[in-house]
Amino acid sequence: MADFTLKCFVESGNAYKAALMLQLCEASWEAEWVDFFNGATRQDAYREENVMGEVPVLVDHTQNDLTLSQSGAILLHLSDRFGKFVPDNRSDELEMMRWMFFDNHKLTSYVATYRFMSKFMKKEGEPETEFLKARAMGALKVLETHLSTHDWAAAGQATLADISMCGYLFWPDHFGVTWDDYPAINAWLKRIQELPHWASPEALLPASA
Amino acid sequence: MADFTLKCFVESGNAYKAALMLQLCEASWEAEWVDFFNGATRQDAYREENVMGEVPVLVDHTQNDLTLSQSGAILLHLSDRFGKFVPDNRSDELEMMRWMFFDNHKLTSYVATYRFMSKFMKKEGEPETEFLKARAMGALKVLETHLSTHDWAAAGQATLADISMCGYLFWPDHFGVTWDDYPAINAWLKRIQELPHWASPEALLPASA
């Protein structure tokens, strides 16, 4: 049996954050596909395990099946387990946390939701989709500005903040941007792809049936 | 001089999270009002200090003016400084973090933005506002379900997760709910109000001119 089970599906960039961390840490893990688009996360049994009703969920079989949701909490747990991707001084760690919160609050929050509404719900151009798009582009602009003077989000090294923020960003065509227009993000994504053992979402996560 | 300066304004529930933590820890702090509604956070000088362009910003004068944004990172720093509101075992701490990420990702993210669009931008009923409202109500339902079997968000005690999630919730009329319809949230907010030194947003934060 693998050490970890990740409940996931390939379209979820939040699941990819956890899968990428597992991959970069060379963890023993297996994917359990969740049929999100047919409502699996809205079922009672799923909600009983995870009241937030989200993907991903990580189960750590080496720690009495400790079960976690929220990609940020999962990343923190995996960094505890593998001792990787967290800087060793607290002020750098706080800067890392600041970008992880920014990711959840502004970047993934809007990029993922805009992508969902435009690509999967086919609501491009509708007012709610345009609202999300404007917020998503604002968050990308903040990230571009920051990365224009920083190789990594925090601490001058790859950390959980980078793994978190890149979750949806290998799919620029899914939210209508080209990284040619964001040279600092483009260069940073290439640095991430050069990390040992990096793999794409499609290589790590199970596709829908 | 106070130990901390908090850049803030009374309408910001994210600023309130930081102010409430300072208050509950009996910190020496002063508020510096930010003229958000006249665009202060969009000015170059503000963006140079905080590329994310947000309120709150905390400056810790006891640590070489360490400057932090993102309420979650600020709360973590203050818990380091005061040794309060973080559970003493890591699995409880991860559960706390899980709810802090949920707050940033889903609860405050949608409740605050819905409130902003309906109350301050006067766009109640418009499609983007209705979209945000539905997401906000979904997040409140998750919180209600969780608190119906838990006195506190995590660890059986008041933690940063409670301080984070209550940020906008003392203004239910600002987003069109009554806590009579959410008995578990109602009881939990009363528990928070009973914490020693609790004070309301209006008591802690500077009003707009």
Minimal C-alpha gap between B146 and chain A (Å): 7
The answer to whether position A73 is within a domain reads yes
SS3 A58: strand
Q: What CATH number is associated with residue A64?
A: 3.40.30.10
Distance separating alpha carbons of residues A112 and A133, to the nearest angstrom: 10
The answer to whether position A106 is within a domain reads yes
Q: Which two tokens stand for residue A115?
A: 């992508």
Together in a domain, B56 and B128: no
Together in a domain, A116 and A188: yes
Is A155 part of the contact surface with chain B (CB cutoff 8 Å)? no
Together in a domain, B66 and B150: no
The domain in which residue A124 lies consists of: 90-193
Q: Which two tokens stand for residue A66?
A: 């400790």
Distance separating alpha carbons of residues B169 and B195, to the nearest angstrom: 16
Half-sphere exposure of B64 (CA within 13 A, CB side): 1
Burial (CB count <10 Å: 0-12, 13-18, 19+), residue A122: exposed
Q: Closest CB to A70: pick one of B51, B90, B102.
A: B102
A7 touches A195 (CB < 8 A): no
SS3 A176: coil
Q: How far is residue A154 from each of residues A101, A158, A165, measured CA to CA in Å?
A: 13, 8, 12
Query: Which of the 8 DSSP states describes residue A173?
Result: G
The answer to whether position A24 is within a domain reads yes
Least trusted range by pLDDT, from A19-23, B13-17, B34-38 = B34-38
Amino acid in the structure at residue B203: A
The answer to whether position A103 is within a domain reads yes
Structure confidence at residue B134 (pLDDT): 98
Is B72 part of the contact surface with chain A (CB cutoff 8 Å)? yes
pLDDT tens digits for range A4-60: 999 999 999 999 999 999 999 999 999 999 999 999 999 999 999 899 999 999 999
Structure confidence at residue B200 (pLDDT): 98
Together in a domain, A74 and A10: yes
Query: Which of the 8 DSSP states describes residue B65?
Result: T
Together in a domain, A29 and A103: no
Minimal C-alpha gap between A132 and chain B (Å): 8
Is A203 part of the contact surface with chain B (CB cutoff 8 Å)? no
Rg (CA), chain B: 17
Q: Closest CB to A127: pick one of B90, B108, B128.
A: B128
Task: Domain count for chain A, please give it.
Answer: 2
Together in a domain, B153 and B183: yes
Listed in sequence order, the residues at least 6 apart from A76 whose beta carbon sits closer than 8 Å to its beta carbon are: A86, A160, B94, B97
Is A69 part of the contact surface with chain B (CB cutoff 8 Å)? yes
Together in a domain, A76 and A13: yes
pLDDT averaged over chain B? 97
pLDDT tens digits for range A165-202: 999 999 999 999 999 999 999 999 999 999 999 999 99
Distance separating alpha carbons of residues A82 and B170, to the nearest angstrom: 40
The answer to whether position A209 is within a domain reads no
Tell if the CB–CB gap between A101 and B142 is shorter than 8 Å.
Answer: no
Listed in sequence order, the residues at least 6 apart from A149 whose beta carbon sits closer than 8 Å to its beta carbon are: none
Together in a domain, A101 and A187: yes
Q: Which two tokens stand for residue A26?
A: 């060379």
pLDDT tens digits for range A76-93: 999 999 999 999 999 999
The answer to whether position A138 is within a domain reads yes
Together in a domain, B123 and B172: yes
**Residue B125 CB neighbour total at 10 angstroms:** 9
Residues of chain A positioned with their CB less than 8 A from the CB of B109: 104-105, 109
Structure confidence at residue A209 (pLDDT): 66
Together in a domain, B63 and B127: no
Structure confidence at residue B103 (pLDDT): 98
Minimal C-alpha gap between B90 and chain A (Å): 9
* pLDDT mean over A106-112: 98
Band (pLDDT 50/70/90 cuts) for residue A208 is confident
pLDDT tens digits for range A118-162: 999 999 999 999 999 999 999 999 999 999 999 999 999 999 999
Nearest CA in chain B to A54: B102
Q: What CATH number is associated with residue B126?
A: 1.20.1050.10
pLDDT at B209 > cutoff 70: no
Together in a domain, A139 and A162: yes
Minimal C-alpha gap between A153 and chain B (Å): 12
pLDDT tens digits for range B47-95: 998 999 999 999 999 999 999 999 999 999 999 999 999 999 999 999 9
The answer to whether position B163 is within a domain reads yes
Q: Which of A164, A115, A106, A112 is nearest to A135 (CA)?
A: A106
pLDDT at A66 > cutoff 80: yes
Together in a domain, A29 and A46: yes
What stretch of H or E contains A4? strand A4-8
Distance separating alpha carbons of residues B136 and B116, to the nearest angstrom: 12
Distance separating alpha carbons of residues A48 and A6, to the nearest angstrom: 17
The answer to whether position B209 is within a domain reads no
Tell if the CB–CB gap between B98 and A68 is shorter than 8 Å.
Answer: yes
Strands in chain B per DSSP E: 4-8, 29-33, 57-60, 66-69
Supply the angle between the helices B127-147 and A127-147 in degrees, to the nearest 10.
Answer: 80
Residues of chain A positioned with their CB less than 8 A from the CB of B68: 94, 98
Q: Which of B67, B94, B121 to mutate to test the interface with A (most CBs of A within 10 A)?
A: B94
Tell if the CB–CB gap between B68 and A127 is shorter than 8 Å.
Answer: no
Assembly ipTM:
0.97
Nearest CA in chain B to A96: B73
